[in-house]
Each structure stands twice: as C-alpha cells, then as structure tokens.
Amino acid sequence: MTSENTLTDQAQQILIDNDRGGYTVPTAGLYPYQWNWDSAVAAFGFAQFDVERAWVELETLFQGQWADGMVPHILFHKNDPGYFPGPDVWACEGPIPSSGIIQPPIAATMARFVWEQDREMGQTRMGALYPKMLAWHNWIMRWRLHMGAVCTTHPWETGRDNAPDWDKTMARMDASDVGEYTRRDTAHVNSEDRPTKFDYDRYIKLVQLGRRLKWDQAAMMAESPFRVADPTMTFTTLRAARDLHAVGEALGKDVSQIAADIKRLEAGVSTLWNKELGGFDSRDVHSGEWAGCVSNASYLCWFAGVENPAMLARLRDVMERVPYPVPSNDPDAETFDVRRYWRGPTWAIVNMLIGLGLKDMGHEKEAQALAKKTADLIAEHGFAEYFDPFSGDAAGGGSFTWTAAVWLAWAGRD
C-alpha cells in the first residue's frame, strides 16, 4: 500500500497534469473536454492546495452558461476529433461550443466548500458567481420538475449513463433510424466496461431529437420520450438549493424564493420513494412506472439533508456484504454487473457525496467507515475512474481527476 503522503502528491499531480489552462479534463484521451460535475469536484480538490485555481475552475465552467441560465454538461473548449459526439453533432449556440443537456448541479455545493477554505479571499469571487449559480437553479426549477422531483431528459445528464434506472424507458424507444456513427470511448477502454450499442443508439437518438428541436425546452418536454424523475438530480438539486440559501444569506441576498424552492423539492423527494422496493427509485414521468432500482444515487438522501432509517439500514447491510462499497447497483439485482460502468461498479465520487451527507446528518460512524473503505480502495488500486466493488480492480480511465480530488478533499484526509 502506498503511503498517504505519496498518494496525496500523486493526486495533486493528476489534477495538475489534467489541467488544460483554466479547466481540467476528467482524464486524457477518453474525456478531452470540460465536464460539468467533474469540474466542480476538481475545484474541491484544487481547493485543498490551490484555492485560486479552484475558483478559476468554477469560473471557467460558468463561462459556458447559456443566456437562459442553463450550464451544459460538456464545454468543448478545443475541438478534439477523437471524441464523439463532438460540438458539430450537438449543434448548440451557447457562448462556448457545448452539449445541450446538463449534469447534476453540484457546482453550488462545491463552490461553497471552496469559499469556506478562505472566505475573505473568496468574497468577491463568490459574489460574482452567486447570481450565475442562482440562474442555473432557477432554470432547473422551471424546466425539470415533476411533482417536485427533478427529471432528467437524457441518461448522460445524471452522470449515471447506463444505470438500470433507464432500462424500461429506453426499451420503449425506437432508435432504428439513428444512422451510422463511430464511438470513440471503446477505443480507449475495454468495451465490456462501457454501455452497450443498444444504449448508445438511444443516447444518440436523444441528441438528434434535441438538435432537431434546437434545444427548445418546451418543445423537448412535449416531444421527448425520455423524461425520468431521478434521485441523482433531485438530491443534488435540493442540496444545491440549501447551499445557495446559506451563501445568499451570508451575502445579504433575499433568499425567500430559494426557501420556497427547498420546500417544493423536499415534497418531491417523497414522490421518489418506492414502497415495494423499500428505497428511493427513479420513475418514468410519461408512464408512471418505477424503475425498480436501488442505486448508489439512492443513498444521496443524506447529502440532500433528507433522513431515512430504511436507507441507513440498507447502507449498513451493503457495507458489510461488499468489500468496496458503495456499488452503483444492488448486488442482488438481476441487472448487476461488476464492471459495466453504472450497473455495478463503485465510484469514489458518489461515495464522497454519500459520506459528506452522512456526516452532515450525524451518522459519523458510517461516514468514517465509508471514507476509510474508499481510501483503502484508492490506495490499493489507484486513481481509476471506477472500481469492481468485490475485487477492487480498477476499471475505465486511469489518472482520473475526480478520484484524485476525492482523495484530496475527503478520503485521504486524516
């Protein structure tokens, strides 16, 4: 096992190596652009040794904000022909070439963490960033709510691309006319670790739909076959709202609307509780059908400030049964796959969000245990994109930005 000091040095170097001048890429080759929630986590990592660089990361992300407040999930700062689908496929008209969808809005939470490193130094930076983060929050509240829960309009938005949550909805989609395209991801990593062609056809079909509708949200709401109320988006949006409320108060802003939004989102959380499953689940807005999945996103309830004894019992059970928790899918589910992306592997990024929430809600024992298991996983198997939850074997990309940031900001501390 590598010493903690050496691992910390390695983690810092990964962030430095993945820096492209104001933004970090998740890892060289596989992901050559700026990804939204990856970048927010990178800022949290940078803040542990370079607060100035952390602010720059967040500011660069919001340079791509659209006029309506949306912050895209990818910013294509420099064209890389090795990546698909690139800016020409998305055909968006933001200030920076970008995708037309979002990702979990954790930027406000990470910005608050960065600010807390040095409030005096970051006062002006936070003052400038706050209205931009609020505009994104307002965009989500306008366009993505269903019964108070936050919906996703593309699996990529949640960050959990091929999670079983989407299987039933995707199965109803016809992608027979998607046409020919060449994937680039499987040229960089093992295809058995990545989404299937069936899934990818539907990802591209949804991109083509958005492009045809010129990314008009009202038109997409009316025509898209994919609209799923999801724990990832709901819990991260609720947490972001709480952080925006706290930051707004500290800045002397009127936060009454955010307070109302928090209550609305809290009510939405209850609509994601699947009684038969005994867990937080995704539901198809069009059909009303439950996905029937307990994922690692189901455990983000504490991150959102939502207590749930049944989820705590589930977490304790999975942490006892799985050597390297938290798996991205229930190990007892028929859809469980130890290596295929979000259908089973453990992700350090989600572990950190779960762990931070556990600590906030007073579950110190579970929070510390999860941090220790995640630290051991990284120490034994490196800074991989994700990991086999039983063997710990690394999977996906290597020298991964957010895994390094997780070590610096959470797992490797103390």
Catalytic residues: 161, 385
Q: Are 271 and 203 in contact (CB under 8 A)?
A: no
Phi, psi of 283 (to 5 degrees): -135, 140
By C-alpha distance, which of 185, 178, 122, 190 is closest to 156?
Answer: 185
Residue recorded with tokens 């979002």: 102
Q: Got the DSSP string for 170-201?
A: HHT---TT------SGGGTS-GGGS--HHHHH
Amino acid at the residue 110: M
Q: Are 383 and 399 in contact (CB under 8 A)?
A: yes
- If one counts every other C-beta atom within 10 angstroms of the C-beta of residue 198, the result is 12
**Could you give the CA distance from residue 322 to residue 320 in angstroms, rounded to a whole number?**
6
Neighbour-count burial of 341, counting CB atoms closer than 10 A to its CB (0-12 exposed, 13-18 middle, 19+ buried):
buried
User: Tokens standing for 238?
Assistant: 């609720």
What SS3 state is found at 280?
strand
